[in-house]
Amino acid sequence: MVSGLLLGAVACDPRVVTIWDGFRAWLRGRGLEFDYLLYSNYERQVADLVSGRIDVAWNSPLAWVRASRLAAAAGVTLTPVTMRDTDCDLRSLIVVRADSPVQSLADLRGRIVATGAVDSPQATLLPLSLLRSAGLRPGAEASPGDGADVWVRRFDIGVGLHGDHVGGEREAARALFAADPADRVDAACMIDSSLLLFAREGTVRSGSVRVVAQTQPYDHCTMTAGPAVTEAAACKLKNLLRGMDYADPSLRPLLDMEGLRQWRPPRVSGYAQLERAVDEAGFYDARGEILAGGYRP
């Protein structure tokens, strides 16, 4: 029996309890003393991981960026453990109505773009970086005199959850078709998987939008071991998770809820794009301290 492990996870949805209760029982049944602790936001989870209060964290991509910066500043080591197959090679999109005259990012100059929450990598930070790469300076819609090229209408739903709560993206999509022209936006930002979800649920009708721009592929969540975990315990967790079989009827419902079929080896190269977006936006500094004005997780 290896030493026990305490994992931190953010309670972005009620099913998180069901998922980790199930995973805990499965892991314990295979010789790993394992428990989990739920957080209301990623910022506290990251701080506790780096300080050693928890052993492992199930981190968002933005949480990885901050954790790696805090760890470097503190002189401690973090170790990526695993990620889901569905965390790899994702893209953020900027979409417009199918009948919009907008054909390129340049055509968004002087128009309103809707985003998700302030701390959403996929629906705010990365798409706004895409606008900047096209020479467009995004600015708050409430500050029309700041010299911005594009006005941003942000939907701050689930702040602190780093975009895991897609409510902000959903409201951004809805704003494309608002009945009142004063509430309508010219473009909306979202991750590719959310666009598929919104089409299935009817938030966006099939064929009613088109993609005007998309980011390069990037990676999403990663499970990260902190300085408090023993190498043996981290290795045991890694091997057990990657050994989970989707064909196992006791595991399949849990894996479906967690949104994967297979745990994969982690990679950090997929966060380079987000690192740049964080620096452009002044969201964290080089030591991982929060700089974003008005951000209160």
Mean pLDDT to the nearest integer, 275-286: 98
Mean pLDDT of 81-89: 97
pLDDT score for 145: 66
Question: pLDDT grade, residue 207 (50/70/90)?
Answer: very high
Task: Please determine, for residue 1, whether its predicted confidence score (pLDDT) is greater than 70.
Answer: no
CATH architecture of 5-87+220-281: 3-Layer(aba) Sandwich (3.40)
Burial (Cβ within 10 Å: 0-12, 13-18, ≥19) of residue 233: buried
Mean pLDDT for the stretch of residues 107-128: 98
Report whether 240 contacts 27 (CB < 8 A): yes
Q: What is the spatial order of strands in the sheet that 150-154 belongs to? A: 138-140, 150-154, 112-115, 187-191, 92-97, 209-214
Q: Which two tokens stand for residue 163?
A: 């975009």
DSSP label at residue 42: H
Candidates 3.20.20.70, 3.40.50.170, 3.10.520.10, 3.40.190.10; CATH matching 92-214: 3.40.190.10
Residue 235: pLDDT over 60: yes
- Which two three-digit tokens encode residue 186? 């010219």
- Does residue 28 surpass a pLDDT of 90? yes
Residue 140: band (very low, low, confident or very high) from pLDDT cuts 50, 70, 90? confident
Is residue 3 scored above 80 in pLDDT? no
What is the average per-residue pLDDT within 119-127? 98
Mean pLDDT of the chain: 96
Give the residue-averaged pLDDT of 168-175: 98
In the chain, ranges of CATH 3.40.190.10 domains: 5-87+220-281, 92-214
Q: Give the dihedral of Cα atoms 235, 238, 242, 243; nearest 10 deg.
A: 50
Query: Alpha-carbon distance 103 to 89, whole Å?
Result: 25
pLDDT of residue 75: 98
Q: What is the mean pLDDT of residues 160-189?
A: 97
pLDDT attached to residue 2: 39
Q: What strand order describes the sheet that includes 222-225?
A: 34-39, 5-10, 56-59, 222-225, 79-84, 263-264
6-22 mean pLDDT: 97
d(CA 257, CA 278): 29
Residue 146 confidence (pLDDT): 78
Banded model confidence at residue 147, pLDDT cuts 50, 70, 90? confident
SS3 292: coil
